[in-house]
């Protein structure tokens, strides 16, 4: 549905919010619900005693398979599970629809991505209710907290519409 054009890659180098190295500090600053993008972030939130409402994972971190400890901890999570396919540097219709469904659901949901979940942060901010939070990993730095505000939604929407593909259909899939 959407593909990240090469000229837009630099927009993702800097964190979109404050970076935390401690999950408990992050959790005290975060709104609810929390949507976690990434295996390691999800693992750290769970270890700190918080089940994210939605966790988007792909079994990888920094292009490598996650450790056995993280994999087993995420498999143990009591979440509704949805499997989706999402190619690297893309946002599939399946991922967008499933993300919206998961955010709207009463139960906690684990989105298991075959491919890559790195770009799911953008649609997660658009799908999460105002006052909620999206957390993702910043390689080598920690966990980034994005408060879901109108301003942050506008930033993510502005990035999303610059992707190659049908941005209007993508926004419609997210209910935006």
* Annotation: binding site for GTP: 39-41, 58, 117
Q: Are strands 142-147 and 164-165 parallel, antiparallel or unpaired?
A: unpaired
- For residues 65 and 126, the answer to whether their CB atoms sit within 8 Å is no
> Residues annotated as binding site?
39-41, 58, 117
Q: Residues 6 or more apart from 65 whose CB is under 8 A from it?
A: 59, 71
- For residues 125 and 156, the answer to whether their CB atoms sit within 8 Å is yes
Encode burial over 78-107: b for 16+ CB neighbours within 10 A, e otherwise.
Answer: ebeebebebeebbbbbbbbbbbbbbbeeee
| Spatial separation of the C-alpha atoms in residues 135 and 94, rounded to whole Å | 21
């Amino acid at each position: 549905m959407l593909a990240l054009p090469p000229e837009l890659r630099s927009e993702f180098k800097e964190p979109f919010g404050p970076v935390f190295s401690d999950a408990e500090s992050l959790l005290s600053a975060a709104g609810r619900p929390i949507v976690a993008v990434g295996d390691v972030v999800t693992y750290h939130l769970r270890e700190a005693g918080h089940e994210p409402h939605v966790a988007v994972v792909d079994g990888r971190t920094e292009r490598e398979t996650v450790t056995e400890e993280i994999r087993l901890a995420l498999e143990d999570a009591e979440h509704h599970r949805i499997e989706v396919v999402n190619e690297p540097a893309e946002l599939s219709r399946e991922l967008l629809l499933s993300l919206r469904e998961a955010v709207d659901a009463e139960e906690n949901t684990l989105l298991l991505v075959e491919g890559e979940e790195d770009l799911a942060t953008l649609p997660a901010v658009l799908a999460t209710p105002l006052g909620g939070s999206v957390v993702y990993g910043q390689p080598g730095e920690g966990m980034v907290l994005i408060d879901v505000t109108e301003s942050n939604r506008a930033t993510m929407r502005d990035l999303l519409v610059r992707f190659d593909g049908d941005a209007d259909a993508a926004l419609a899939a997210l209910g935006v």
